[in-house]
Amino acid sequence: MSTSLRLGVAEFRARPGRALLPGVALVVGVACLLAALVLSDALTRSVDEGAPGTPSSVGHVVEVRQQPYDATPVAEADRPKLDDALLTKLSAVGRAVPVQVAQADLLDANGRAGQHRAEVHVQQPDLVRWPLAEGRQPAAGGEVAVDKITAYERGLKPGDEVSLAAADGTPLQVTVSGVLKKGGIDARPVLVAGPDLARELDPQPLTKQVWVIGGARDAVKTAAGASYAVWDPEPDADKIGNDLTFILLPFSVLALATAVFVAAATFRAVYAQRQRQTALLRCIGAQRGPLVRRSLVEALLTGAVAGIGGALLGGPMAWVLARTFDVTGISVLFGAVELSPELLPSLGYVVLGVVVAAVLSVAAAVRPAINAARVSPLAALRDADNEMPTRSVRRLRLVFGLLFTGGAAFLALAAIAAKGTAAAPLAVTFSAIAAVTGLFWILGPVTVPFIARLFGKAGGARWTQWKLAGAEVRRMPQRSASVALPLLLASSMVTFFLVLLGTAQEMTYSFANEERPDATVVDAGERPLPAIPAQDGVAADVVLHKAENGSGADPEEFKAWLKAQNVPGAERFTAGTAIVPPHWEDRPFVESGGKRYEVVGTVPGTLTGYTPVLGGLTSGPAEKVLVALRPGTDPAQFRAGLQAALPDHPTVIVQTDADERAEADRYMHLGTVLMMVLLGLSVAVAVTGIGTALTISVQERRKELALRRALGVTRGGLQGGVIAEAVVLALVGVVGGGVLGFGYAVIAILAIGIPLVLPTASVVLPLVIGALAVVVLAVVAAFGPSRGASRIRPAAGLASG
């Protein structure tokens, strides 16, 4: 063991650059792992710091007891409630304080309500529940604390004023007293206000719990009754602990696995470079065991150094990810912005990085070390200028490759045949694994040069460097396949997920494009609508009035509106009849207010809100106006004109079909960015494999490159040749992975049983941008090796062995 250790240390001292080369990918992989952990820690800390707490003076919490799942459903009127009667009973034992949430409309800079209402948490002045990031708790009736996402997006700070809509819809100016540590999820505002202001905003807030201060627990149970649960409060009940730690972890583990692939390929190439040295050691009596141990000790040292480097890069990478999430809007989905992850890792994370990198480095080096130790002493007399295996090895590789590829095809067909069953996704998964194993792992030395040859033919006629680059890929097929495989896997996953996201978006569009009103006028807080003034561009409209078990409408107005929407189904609709959505069509009548309305037709539920429309029942308050616009009318212009005509009703909003599409586009955009950023970690690791492979290639071909210089090739020409190799390898991985990912996305869609939709620009454009980014990264990775190639002097290079 001591001899192995001395040999490993000697290799580090003699050629530190070559010894550390396999650790480059592990540095990036460990950095991705620790960045995910550090960023998850910051995210968890941010969410936990903003979680509400229970004041220490609260002795007991009363809630409605949850019914067992198999219990007989109880009518709404008979369900226990946290009402004033219960508060009166509990007040006989101690101080009873309802924990309430109201609803309110936060007005924007134009004085209009948004699509999402704000949650207003009612807080007693002496029972502070919500922690603040800055400012003070709301004390007066005209003060609120806002969540940090709302403050971030609107640029609010303590002392600023915002507008809310009171219960009757009139604007109400309030002062921001503080900013909460909590962030509203997906830009849904969260406010904290005192009881007086909350009553102005919402006279009927939802009571979620009742706090009891003082009194014995048994006395509280007795006062509450059997329908209510009584428990002692837990200070950290609303904290999530480490639940968010694993949000980013799967992607970082994927990047780490990619790093192992790259490291194994680099170890294989480094040991091949030392083949003459290994053979000479075998000639003088060295056994295979010490040689293998020497390589593993060297790999252990490489991994330890890589782990330290990755740990130091983890914090800055986490900071870059946090800023990326802020810029792209992903942070808002988590309810956390402006995260501040630690730039320097803790001692525990440094130890974790060193251990993980060392173990994975040794694991990546085991097989290459064993294969290198098997070299015959006679190999010392040979030059290893290529990687051509023996005929028996090629034949065995072909057999196994065809078996795996055939199995992948069979599983893919089985997945399509089992469409819609639970077995279909499993079949797709195993088919994809078999396809990658067969085509790009076992048959990689054949598949990768074949793809490279296609690129070489495409540009080799005009660019000699491009043709030489393709030849170099074919000269070392095993190495090229090993380098391209990680990039191919990352590219295929990016393509797969983006195509699935695109299909989901098109399905959302299909839902949004179902028969629905061109525009719907409602009040954000479900208040009765005022009289809607006439607007240009309106073909027909109908007012729906609030009613029991549905909405009432004038039959002639409703039929005229349906005609303008080109929707049939209401020809027999008259006073005393009902039009219902499809899921009500089996009912012969609808009862409302003690009167029966005969069902005479159906219309899509998306038109009316999935509730029946009762003919002639127009006595209730107006709750909705359905509008059919004339062809060519801009919905946004209609909205602006209507809202301008209702300046005294800021909570009246207009919902259009374009809003549905915009919402779908937003989530598609966020999903695309999230996938590309997180899977981009694996791509970044895979690109490092191109840089290390080119570094080794330049070292091996010093004599060839020197000969080119002697024959008149300029330094720029040598640099261009190395960069061309990087571009070819990048294109092989990107194009091969893209085709594979797209193919399996199609198979998955067919296996799930949803309609196949061709990729749109929203899918193709990110893929093209991602491919260009990979090529640029490959060029950057090739910069160092290309500079080294251009500095080779002809005389010194030709003299090297």
| Count of the separate structural domains present in the chain | 4
Scanning 274-287, the segments in alpha helix (DSSP H) are 275-283
Domain identity same for 260 and 194: no
678 and 622 both lie in a single domain: no
Task: Quick: pLDDT tens for 725-777.
Answer: 888 888 888 888 889 989 988 898 888 877 777 767 767 887 888 888 888 88
Is the domain of 80 the same as that of 222? Answer: yes
439 found inside a domain: no
Give yes or no for residue 126 having a pLDDT over 80: yes
- Whether residues 614 and 588 share a domain: the answer is yes
What is the per-residue pLDDT across 264-276, written as a single tens digit (0 to 9) for each?
A: 888 887 777 677 6
Give yes or no for a contact between 121 and 98, defined as CB atoms under 8 angstroms apart.
no
Is the pLDDT at 329 greater than 70? The verdict is: yes
Question: Which pLDDT band, with edges at 50, 70 and 90, does 60 fall under?
Answer: very high
**Single pTM value for the model:** 0.76
Question: Are 648 and 791 within one domain?
Answer: no
Give the pLDDT mean for 227-242.
Answer: 72
Picking from 586, 621, 656, the residue at the C-terminal end of a domain is: 656
* Residue 693: exposure state from Cβ atoms within 10 A (0-12, 13-18, ≥19): buried
Whole-number Å distance between alpha carbons of 602 and 611: 11
Distinct helix (H) and strand (E) counts, the chain:
26, 19
577: in domain: yes
- Asked if residue 430 is part of any domain, the answer here is no
Q: Does residue 238 carry a pLDDT above 70? A: no
Q: Is residue 700 part of a domain?
A: yes
**In the prediction, which pLDDT does 144 show?**
95
Looking at residue 799, its pLDDT comes to 62
pLDDT above 90 for 441: no
> Given this model, what pLDDT does residue 477 score?
80
Q: 186 pLDDT exceeds 90?
A: no
Which of 656, 677, 699 terminates a domain? The answer is 656
Shared-domain flag, residues 41 and 68: no
Question: Of 524 and 248, which is predicted with more confidence?
Answer: 524
| pLDDT higher than 90, residue 233 | no
From 656, 685, 702, give the residue that closes a domain.
656
% of the chain surpassing 90 pLDDT = 25
Residues 626, 541 share a domain: yes
Residue 638: domain span:
519-656
Q: What stretches of 565-631 show up as alpha helix (H) in DSSP?
A: 605-608
Q: Rounded to whole angstroms, what are the CA distances from 326 to 323, 342, 370, 684, 770?
A: 5, 17, 48, 21, 20
Band (pLDDT 50/70/90 cuts) for residue 650 is: very high
Residue 433 belongs to some domain of the structure: no
The pLDDT value given to residue 15: 59
For residue 501, is pLDDT > 70? yes
Q: Are residues 283 and 227 in the same domain?
A: no
Residues 456 and 561 in one domain: no
In a domain, 23, yes or no: yes
Same domain, 662 and 650: no
**Residue 366: pLDDT over 70:** yes
- Which DSSP symbol is given to 107? B
Same domain, 680 and 606: no
pLDDT tens digit sequence for 69-93? 655 666 656 678 888 899 999 999 9
Cβ contact 570:601 at 8 Å = yes
> Which pLDDT value is given to residue 114?
85
Q: Is the pLDDT of residue 386 over 70?
A: no
Query: Within a domain: residue 460?
Result: yes
Residue 240 maps to a domain? no
Q: Mean pLDDT score of the chain, rounded to an integer?
A: 83
Report the pLDDT value the prediction gives residue 798, as an integer from 0 to 100: 61
Write out pLDDT tens, residues 450-488.
887 777 666 555 567 777 777 777 777 877 777 788 888
- pLDDT tier at 384, thresholds 50, 70, 90: very low
How far is 435 from 405, CA to CA, in rounded Å?
5
Spatial strand order of the sheet with 577-580 comes to 589-592, 595-602, 577-580, 613-615, 550-553, 538-547, 622-629, 519-523, 652-656
Q: Answer yes or no: do 219 and 78 share one domain.
A: yes
Residue bearing the bigger pLDDT, 237 or 636: 636
Tell me what pLDDT residue 285 has: 67
In sequence order, what are the residues at sequence separation of 6 or more whose Cβ sits closer than 8 angstroms to the Cβ of residue 611?
549, 550, 551, 581
pLDDT tens column, 569-621: 888 999 999 999 888 878 889 998 889 999 999 988 888 888 899 999 988 89
In this prediction, residue 12 carries a pLDDT of 56
Q: What angle do CA 269, 274, 278 make, to 5 degrees?
A: 130
For residue 95, pLDDT over 80 is answered with yes
